[in-house]
A = this chain, B = another copy of it.
Amino acid sequence: MEASTRRARRHDPDRRDKLIAATLDIIAEHGVAGVSHRTVARAADVPLGSTTYHFTSLDDLLAAAFTRHADSIAGVFEERMRAAPDRAAAIESVAEHISGDLLDANHDLVLSVELYGAAARKPVLRAVTQAWMRRSREALEHHFDPTTAREVDALIEGLVLHSALSTDPMTPAQVRAALHRFLP
């Protein structure tokens, strides 16, 4: 342990992570408007000063949180597409993805929509959504041509949103039917 551990951190195992996780929880429950240094610090059970130490500003914290969220969802989707052996299996995976085993209606969805709203106004976050969209499209391109991938990506977005906001959401069978109409 000479040169290798020279730069080891003192005694902060995962403060940054805890702060980001707490931020995401707050956004999911109260929206971006509910995020403040104090609410985050309370939720993460850390002192107030810790939030300004690890993130230079609130915007910085929000960007980190949204980046983590987008990366997480994109990673799971990529994994699903990579695991699908063929086109039919890929379609089935997409249907499952939409029907909500991943986007459990009241957490990930709110995070995604809040991200869209913030991204529409802040260039930094716009870059996050774009990277996410690109990864989704590329994952779909393992099974579909680029044009189709792009269109299906948009269709997924719309189906997820409508499913989440509707009191009468589409059943998994209806979702599958819609996909198969698009991908005969």
**Residues of chain A at the chain B interface (Cβ within 8 Å):** 29-33, 106, 109-110, 113-114, 116-121, 126, 129-130, 133, 147, 150-151, 153-159, 161-162, 164-167, 170, 174, 177-178, 181-182
Contact call B121/A110, Cβ cutoff below 8 A? yes
Residues on B with beta carbons closer than 8 Å to the beta carbon of A33: 31-33
For A30, the chain B residues whose CB sits under 8 A away are 121
Copies of this chain present in the complex amount to: 2
Are A117 and B119 within 8 A (Cβ)?
A: no
B165 contacts A133, C-beta separation under 8 Å:
yes
CB contacts (< 8 Å) of A113 on chain B: these are 113, 116-117, 120
Does B154 contact A158, Cβ atoms closer than 8 Å? yes
Q: Is the CB of B164 within 8 A of A120?
A: yes
What are the residues of chain B within 8 A of A181 when measuring CB–CB?
Answer: 151, 182
Q: Which residues of chain B are within 8 angstroms of A133 by Cβ–Cβ distance?
A: 162, 165-166
Give the CA-CA distance A164 to B29 in the complex, in Å. Answer: 26
CB neighbours (8 Å) of A106 from chain B are: 120
Are B121 and A117 in contact, CB atoms less than 8 angstroms apart?
Answer: no
Q: Tell me the bound Cα distance from A119 to B167 in angstroms.
A: 12
Asked if residues B154 and A159 are in contact (CB atoms below 8 Å), the reply is yes
Q: Return chain B residues, CB-CB under 8 Å to A164.
A: 120
